[in-house]
Structure 1
Amino acid sequence: MDFGPETYPLLTSVAFIAGFIDAIAGGGGLLTVPAMLAAGIPPVATLATNKLQSSFSSGTATFSFHRKAMIDWRTYWPQILVILLLSGVGAWIVQTIRPRALELIVPVLLVAVAAYVLLSPRMSDEDAHHRLSAKGYLPVGGAIGFYDGFFGPGTGSFFATSLVSLRGLGLIRATAHTKAFNFASNIGSLIVFLATGHAMILLGLCMAIGSASGAWTGSHTAIRFGARVIRPVLVTVSLALTAKLLWQALS
């Protein structure tokens, strides 16, 4: 597929902004996916290429949080493995069917996420008592990972909110683990998309430069300011995704 010379720097710039937002609250695909579709990239190729560039974004954010010792790898490695595997299954299935029903269901879930973030006293940087054990969280994390490979919008919001509400993590630690989970789901689905030949490698790598730079900036912003910045961005991203998906469904 041929593009004008301006397409690569434009999409790379979009990826930088998306990487910044994604490192804080998820939802970077709200920017990159419509931008790629507007550039004339087919839907499946858009999903595949977006996974390629967002893998660098989530990987950079994960590394930043890891350096600050905010990710409990010993406790959460089984969840990461399950998320990686099920996201690959989701990516394989999405190439055979059109996920129309999710376009109607996901906005309702995102409104619930925004309401929880706004109203719950648990959405702070302080850890709280957990409602599910780490093993009990496995099917929750696996389901979100499958969803990320299958459809994607709002995955970061779902991970972060479920970690706070079910595992009792403070918002900054939930964000750190969300990035690790996102990285796993991105890699799992990317492997499938690469195997089926849908990803546009050169474009994806150009966008990866932008998204990784944005993720580094965003993750350090989240580490420095914590819930004060994560909470409003999470609400804004959830509501923006809701509006976008409802618009698509109704139109």
Structure 2
Amino acid sequence: MELLIVSLASLFAGMVDSIVGGGGLILVPALFATFPSAPPATLVGTNKSAAIWGTAFATYQFSKKVDMRWGALMPAASAGLLGSLLGAWTVTEVDPSFLRKALPFILLALLAYTLAKKDMGQRHEPRFKGRQEAIAAMVMGLLIGFYDGFFGPGTGSFFVFAYVRLLGYDFLNASASAKLMNTATNFAALVLFTLQGHVWWHLALPMALANVVGSLLGTRLALKHGAGFVRFVFLAVVAALIVKTTYDGFFR
């Protein structure tokens, strides 16, 4: 029964994650509710072991239909991986709890800005080309990757917003690009959790398979309905993140 519960949660998480990120809002609470006595690091590590397959598969699916700008994306993914490792190391030296109370307000500003700019992300008009785009994407990857390793909540949403607002992508292309970035940062985290023994591999395979199935469903929905649909899901996920981070920061 426990395996069925977390596998279903992983399926739905993969579907949400593949569209716009935020699958952790579903899978992490499901793992904590199903295994309340397990070490938190083990549950987070097990979540990463499933999520990385869904994001990697979503990247592949998007790449067949969306014009992925690999010249900028691959250096950015490398920078994101490095940033995530640096963030994970930093969290062993610095307590990230100060971010708990700040994060809801950052997300609220992001939500308000996106709602106010109704045309933002509706057209795909990249602002940079060649080396300029690669450098901008690498800086974004390093900074957001560092945040992912250091703290984590909302990483996918920050990647999508950055690609839309700073690089001029539409929401569909931004989501596709964010999937590759999330794969890189998840890989860095998974390596660290694995080295520390914080992954339950007996759950990893079925959860990963379920996550890939969910990723397939979510990717097809995003490709079928386009940027407007991805924008709607983005707003819904950010709103859910605001509720969750407000609870975690002020009422827990």
TM-score with structure 1 setting the length:
0.91
* SS of residue paired to 1:134: helix
Matched, 1:75 2:68: no
Name the CA shift for 1:150/1:106 in 2 (closer, same or farther; >3 Å). same
Unmatched 5+ stretches in structure 2:
none
Cα distance in structure 1, aligned partners of 2:53 and 2:14:
9
In the other structure, the counterpart of 1:3 is: none
CA-to-partner distance for each residue in 1:170-190, whole Å, 9 max, x for gaps? 111111101011111111111
Deviation at 1:129, TM superposition (A): 5.3
Letter in 2 for 1:191: V
Share of identical aligned residues, percent? 35
Unmatched 5+ stretches in structure 1:
1-5
Deviation at 1:94, TM superposition (A): 3.6
CA-to-partner distance for each residue in 1:118-167, whole Å, 9 max, x for gaps? 22144334123527743133222211112222222111110011101111
Backbone CA RMSD of aligned residues = 1.8
Write out aligned runs for 1:1-251 (5 A). Answer: 6-38=1-33, 39-40=35-36, 41-94=38-91, 98-128=95-125, 130=127, 133-251=133-251
Q: Is the CA contact 1:113–1:157 (under 8 Å) kept in the aligned structure 2?
A: no
TM-score with structure 2 setting the length:
0.91
Letter in 1 for 2:114: V
Name the CA shift for 1:10/1:202 in 2 (closer, same or farther; >3 Å). same
CA-to-partner distance for each residue in 1:176-231, whole Å, 9 max, x for gaps? 10101111111111111111111111112221111111111101111111122111
Letter in 2 for 1:214: G
